[in-house]
Homo-oligomer: A and B are copies of this chain.
Amino acid sequence: MTNAAGGTLRRRPSQRRSVERVERMLDECALLLDEVGYEQLTTKEVARRAEVPIGTFYQFFPDKQGLVRALALRNLDAFLDRMAARLAGVSLKNWTEAVDLVIDEFVEMKRTMPGFGIVDFGEILTTPGGPALPESRRMLDQSLDNNVIVADRLRSLIIELLGAPRNEGLGRALIVAVEAADAVLKLAFRAHPQGDPDLIAECKRLVRRYLSEHLSDSAVDASESVDRESEGPAEPS
């Protein structure tokens, strides 16, 4: 819902042609990232493929990092939207099913959405191509925000759907779970182009075991918001 490129753009495109251009640049960035990786990706090539002059590129994106960060945010939004839609259309027996569903969806995104496997919720999102520097506090804070956004929205979804108790530690636990799952799934995709099934299964186990401290099974049965048993997708508020 929120604009995917929220604070990362130098100038927000207003006219229709400009919007399409920015979108095209992000599309080509994603494809090129999958082809050559971040370091080999050049702004000139992105601009060339998107059929946009390099000068125009730099009117919208502050720099190479900004481009990739904007893509990361767009991917993030896409994932969260798909998650919300997916969770809304299913009646879950217990919260562990929700964990499996979220991870399956994440894996599916990695398999199909260009650039999703490379630029996602980890530090790449923050400082793509470079590890976090103690100097650049601002960027770090932003990354932390992004991380919190994912975990927070997941928590909202889980609470909404499963009626889990609003533990104080749940928020932090979800952040930790997201971070850990992200890392393990990265490993799974490093080991196998489509994601090593064993490692994906192991990832689910990891998250289930960890979250079982915070999410009790009893909370699931007490769920109030899962009223409809229908399988059709329901609209989130």
Which residues in A have some Cβ–Cβ distance to B below 8 Å? 33-40, 117-119, 122-124, 126-136, 140, 143-144, 147, 172-173, 175-176, 179-184, 186-187, 189-191, 193, 198-199, 202-203, 205-206, 209-210, 212-213
Once bound together, how far apart are the Cα atoms of A164 and B4, in whole Å?
Answer: 49
In the bound complex, residues from chain B placing their C-beta under 8 Å from that of A122 are 183
21 contacting pairs across A/B (C-beta < 8 A): A35-B135, A37-B133, A38-B130, A38-B131, A39-B127, A122-B183, A124-B131, A134-B193, A143-B190, A144-B191, A147-B187, A172-B198, A172-B199, A176-B184, A176-B206, A179-B183, A179-B186, A180-B184, A206-B206, A209-B212, A209-B213
State the copy count for this chain. Answer: 2
Question: Interface majority SS on A: helix, strand, loop or mixed?
Answer: helix
A184-B179, A187-B179, A202-B173 are contacts. A118–B131 as well, Cβ < 8 Å? yes
A203 contact from B38, B129, B176, B203, Cβ within 8 A:
B176
CA distance A40 to B127 in the complex (A): 11
Least CB distance from A145 to B in Å reads 11
Residues of B within 8 A of A202 (CB): 172-173, 176
Contact B210 A205 (CB under 8 A): yes
Please give, as numbers and ranges, the residues of chain B lying within 8 Å of A210 by CB-CB distance: 205-206, 209-210
Q: How far is A180 from B122 in the complex, measured between Cα atoms in Å?
A: 12
CB pair A130–B39 under 8 Å, yes or no, is yes
Evaluate contact between A131 and B180: CB separation under 8 angstroms.
Answer: no
How far in angstroms is the closest Cβ of chain B from A116?
11
